[in-house]
Amino acid sequence: MGEGPAGPAVSSIPFQKIWSDGKVSLIGLGDSITRGLGAQSKHTYFELLQQNDDVQYPDMKRCDLQHVFPGLRANNYAQDYTVTREHVEKQLPRVPIHPPDVKGVIVITSGGNDLIHDYGRSEPTDGAMYGCSYKQAIDWTENIKDRLLKLIEGINSRFPGGCQIFLANIYDPTDGVSDPQSKGLPRWPDAVKILGLTNKKIAELCNSYDNVHLVDIHSEFLGHGIHCTEFWRRYYHSDDPHYWYYENLEDPNRRGYDAIRRLFLTEMIKVLPAWFRT
């Protein structure tokens, strides 16, 4: 796993001023990454966004949302093992319609489980695509995009006062090698191509909304998967050749969550201070 900060450096300068003293609702939706499987509760990315652990991460002291939003309230509706359909049908209805004086900040990780379920134990299908062909994935990844669109539209309708949505793409624990069989899973020759197609759909969706912003965890995590120590690999990081995933291969470990928190904050800095000033 390694030690020290993981992911991009985050400037402390934007956090030296209040972004808004009004009512702000931080909402988490999606799968086990947003729920926080693989780390202590205080070290999940959702919790670190709200309140940094100054002992574990002294470089991030005061670089959290509670310091720029004194009126912040947070609710995490994400659940382990869930897919996009469940995020629309089960999680979205739990998000209340907020008063017009409340602004929303929404963080989402969704779509990864649609790809990896059912781990090759059954025939691939929409929502449990593991082992499918690229031809099958063309329609199924479009369905993922459609369900995420419904999720976004539903969120927007619940914040008449406005919201900003930060949607992560999907990382690759094989570091682009496409060899899940090396960790005991069935072979899946088209895995990396299908992951790329899914991430393309997610990026297209983000680009179609002014208030939806892509958080690129895929690029940042390349070289921190199962081939992280192999110096001949394309994505090898000599400065940090360490594994950022939990023992289950599909969720982050503590340093992985630190990196994800920094990636979300990096995108938030680009958007939120100016948006709250308007």
Q: What is the CATH number of the domain that holds 37?
A: 3.40.50.1110
Question: Within a domain: residue 1?
Answer: no
Enclosing domain of residue 149: 13-277
Question: Within a domain: residue 258?
Answer: yes
204-257 pLDDT per residue, tens: 999 999 999 999 999 999 999 999 999 999 999 999 999 999 989 899 999 999
What does the radius of gyration of the chain's CA atoms come to, in whole angstroms? Answer: 18
Question: Within a domain: residue 239?
Answer: yes
Question: Within a domain: residue 208?
Answer: yes
The 10 Å Cβ neighbour count of residue 220 is 20
Question: Within a domain: residue 3?
Answer: no
Q: How many domains does the chain have?
A: 1
140-174 pLDDT per residue, tens: 999 999 999 999 999 999 999 999 999 999 999 99
Q: Which helix (H) or strand (E) holds 217?
A: helix 217-221
Q: Average pLDDT in the 166-183 region?
A: 95
97-138 pLDDT per residue, tens: 999 999 999 999 999 999 999 998 999 999 999 999 999 999
Q: In what order do the strands lie in the sheet with 102-109?
A: 71-76, 23-30, 102-109, 163-168, 212-215
pLDDT at residue 73, as a whole number: 98
